[in-house]
A and B are shown apart, each in its own frame.
Chain A
Amino acid sequence: MNRWWVGGAALVAVAAVLGPLLGDPDAADFAAILAGPSPAHPLGTDQLGRDLLLRLLAGAQLTLGISVVTVLVTGAVGTAAGMAAGYREGPGARVLLRTVDVLAALPIILFGLLAAAVLGPGIGSLLAAVWLVGWTPFARQAYQLTVAEKGRAYVEGAVALGAGPARVLLRHVARNLAPPLLAHACVRFAATLLTVSGLSFLGLGVAPPTAEWGAMVAEGREYLFVAPHVVLVPSVAVVAVAVLVTVAGRRMAT
């Protein structure tokens, strides 16, 4: 059963990497504007006659690429902070947890708006927002897991054998934290994907004419009543990937 999910993820990744080789996503075909599916354009074209399949694949690279990098960076930072706080509980850990609570209580879109106000809307403000907040769920999860692991015999054994905190955490605790944290990373990936495309939809991230799934929905929305397929294509892509990753993460967790 798991092979299906791995295969699906691999397929999406290959499509995202190879997509731009198939053609220019910004090339306009003025003979076919807002056209439905045809042999020349398997998913149809948008309001400028650009091929939706090519834009979808180019968008996959950008949208999914930003999400993957974000989850890797914030996952590493958050896990490290959470593990350190969980292993050495003290005033520092309490401050960290309070910070996590406050940051996680605020809507991510507020950070997107503030980052856009400070840096100007663009990929930079988008990354600033998702990186500033994205580490907090990992920190919370890693903290709770580390506190639970700390009391177990193997940690005591390692300490008795003279292992320092860094060795205990990296060599021993980290291995036991990896499976639940990987499952958590899948959930975070889906959430990040929706945030990235949502902010781009609002014009606070990747801006048109660059092909990004959220930005594509925003562009196509004006033609929703005449040519709904322009919105349908990126909509389905966002939801499909989010479902795929969410279910895969859940399988991993059980």
Chain B
Amino acid sequence: MLRRLLPVPLVLLAASVLVFALPRLTGVDVSRAVLRARVSAEVPDAATEARVAAEFGLDASAPVQYLRWLGAALRGDLGLGFVSREPVLDQVGDALAVSGLLTVLALGLAAVVGVTAGVYAAHRPGGPFDRAVGALAVAGVAVPEFVLAPWLVLVFAVGAGALPALGWGGPQHVVLPVLTLAVYPAALAAQLVRAETADVLTRAHVPLARAKGLTARRVLWRHGARLATTSVTSLSGMFVAGLLGGSVVVEVVFGIPGLGRLLYDAVLAQDLPVIQAGTLALVAVAVLAGVLVELAGLAADPVARSREAVS
């Protein structure tokens, strides 16, 4: 158990070094960048530049700067955004809440649709429903968000006029982005669940359960779909980081103030503190999601648990 948690601080530490080094890699002169955001003068005078450098502690050596920065970061201070001049941690927190909502809804929808479609498809392998699910799942994996989003807007917002094309605030703004985000994980989940359930249904305990008098429906869901829950959990864990920060396309297309959009805007504006904080948050979420999924897998799967105890 502890062995699995051990790499977490190491990964975070490595990420912090990279994130700290980011402004140095970009070749952006931080004090210049701040000055340019604050004053309109083309060439700021040397005294102002030195004052800003001192304000940001840029006059110290790199390791000292790193330790100072890390200390501040651990206390929850990642600095102010160059553009907004607000604490970046607050910005990231707000954005994370928005993206978190989208992620939870999209994964929930994907799990329900994917598991239902996959289990029923496995019920009659090679049947019309199975083939339809198979074809849709291939299409679902092949359609990227940047293609899906405009077409959903065209059909539902413009054609049917039922939903807003962009914006954020009410429940009506959630529908199209969540649909766009859910397609890919739902398609993958359907494929995975179908394969695993079809495999389980060929094993000996299934005819036994039928012989005991259980209905076909009950056997399908109690015995066939049992394994599927584990694999869908681990699949969801894989998607958490991708949806939280990777939904840049969806958040940009629909105008949603989430983490992906925050990072995207920060990259275009060269707003380094925001990029740093957003990246750290994303790495932390990804690593934690991975650990949680492994633990959930152990809790759900007695075979893996005993293997763990032996090793």
Contact = CB atoms under 8 A, between A and B. Distances in A.
Contact of B249 (A118, A198, A242, A250): A198
B248 A109 contact: yes
Interface in B4-29: 7, 11, 22, 25-26
Given A109-B248, A110-B245, 5 more contacts: A107-B246, A110-B246, A202-B249, A239-B147, A246-B138
Contact of B154 (A107, A204, A228): A228
Contacts of B22: 114, 117-118
6 contacts: A105-B287, A107-B282, A117-B22, A198-B145, A201-B146, A224-B153
B27 to A, nearest CB: 8
Contact of B139 (A113, A225, A239): A239
A238 interface: yes
Given A198-B145, A202-B249, A221-B150, A118 B25 contact: yes
A167 B286 CA distance: 39
B142 to A, nearest CB: 4
A241 to B, nearest CB: 8
A153 interface: no
A217 B282 contact: no
A238 B267 contact: no
A190 B289 CA distance: 26
B286 A105 contact: yes
B290 interface: yes
A235 interface: yes
B64 interface: no
Contacts of B245: 107, 109-110
Contacts of A77: none
A142 interface: no
Interface residues of A, number: 39
User: Which of B25, B267, B290 has the most chain A CB within a 10 Å cutoff?
Assistant: B267
A118 B150 CA distance: 30
Contacts of B151: 231, 235
B87 interface: no
Interface in B140-196: 141-147, 150-151, 153-154, 158
B142 A246 contact: yes
Contact of B283 (A106, A203, A225, A228): A106
Interface of A: 98, 101-102, 105-110, 113-114, 116-118, 121, 190, 194, 197-198, 201-204, 214, 217-218, 221, 224-225, 228, 231, 235, 238-239, 242-243, 246-247, 250
A246 B246 CA distance: 22
Contacts of B141: 190, 242, 246
B198 to A, nearest CB: 14
Nearest to B141: A246
Interface size class of B (residues with CB under 8 A): 35 or more
Contact of B142 (A108, A228, A243): A243
A62 to B, nearest CB: 16
A202 B286 contact: no
A113 B263 contact: yes
B279 interface: yes
Nearest to B15: A102
A205 to B, nearest CB: 12
A238 B141 CA distance: 12
Nearest to A225: B158
Given A107-B246, A202-B252, A214 B267 contact: no
A248 B260 CA distance: 33
A201 B250 CA distance: 12
B283 A113 contact: no
A243 B26 contact: no
A239 B143 CA distance: 5
B117 to A, nearest CB: 18
B173 to A, nearest CB: 19
Contacts of A228: 154
Given A105-B286, A106-B286, A231-B150, A113 B241 contact: no
A132 B275 CA distance: 19
Given A105-B290, A108-B246, A109-B245, A117 B275 contact: yes
Contacts of B260: 109
User: Which of B139, B141, B270 has the most chain A CB within a 10 Å cutoff?
Assistant: B141
B142 A190 contact: yes
Given A110-B282, A117-B267, A238 B147 contact: yes
- 6 A-B pairs with least C-beta separation: A107-B246, A242-B142, A201-B146, A107-B242, A235-B147, A194-B144
B264 interface: yes
B248 A113 contact: yes
Given A198-B145, A225-B154, A246-B142, A109 B246 contact: yes
